[in-house]
Structure 1
């Protein structure tokens, strides 16, 4: 069984990983940890932009890579079959395309519980994935009160 776990690397990511381990730590389960990074600067119009912006994007990408690898290492140290992926792109589309490519049986992701105004302005990644997914999606609420 392949389970794709989409992580935004916020503090709530650890809670999502903990719950996934408790629910699905079974023989023959392969976890794919996915973090979707922002697109390349060239993609968003910074091809000839200032070098400091390009440097900041590169530093952020490196930090995200280290973070997702650290989570995967912790899981592997606990004898859990896990691979970390860091892919650039539009978050909902990337999650869905990776789930298809990996032949995932389940997508697990968190929901920050945005209020209506924030959801209207910013959108909801989990809502977009649920709407277009052809496989089950488990959404773990991560909003803290």
Structure 2
């Protein structure tokens, strides 16, 4: 096992995922790729006309997320594990699968939180969809 993709979403349980990734990274002497999939920009944000305050808010949010990813990578590197962080915008499921393929990941580590029936009916389960679409083994860390 050479590459492990670790997908986080900046919730209170990220440390559980990071700890499991460190454990596996050490055990297999693997490189960790810590990624976060940020929401895509709204249609009016970017080069098209749109409210400046919305563009500024999105830029600040992405900057904070990028810093947090780098902090996670530094924490893992301090454990003697090669680590890189990636902040990507797009659809979560598709981007996790795509990045895992690009990085030749041998394993994907994701978290799973139990949600209500109505939440699942409207939004589905990200972890279930990744498991169903991935050709790469997926380790699900319960939250």
TM-score calculated relative to the size of structure 2 = 0.92
The 5 A counterparts of 1:107-122 are 107-122=108-123
**3-state DSSP class of the match of 1:135?**
coil
CA distance in 1, matches of 2:24, 2:87: 24
List structure 1 runs of 4+ shifted beyond 6 angstroms. Answer: none
RMSD: 1.3
**Cα distance, 1:74 vs. partner?**
0.7
Shift of 1:82: 0.7
Deviation at 1:39, TM superposition (A): 1.2
- CA separation in 1, counterparts of 2:23 and 2:95? 26
- 1:102-138 deviations in Å (ceiling 9; x for gaps): 0101100001111221111122211111111011111
Aligned pairs, how many? 140
Distance in 2 of aligned mates of 1:66 and 1:112: 24
Indicate whether 1:33 and 2:34 are aligned: yes
How many angstroms does 1:9 deviate by?
Answer: 1.4
Q: CA deviation at 1:28?
A: 3.1
Rounded to whole Å, the distance in 1 between the matches of 2:107 and 2:20 is 14
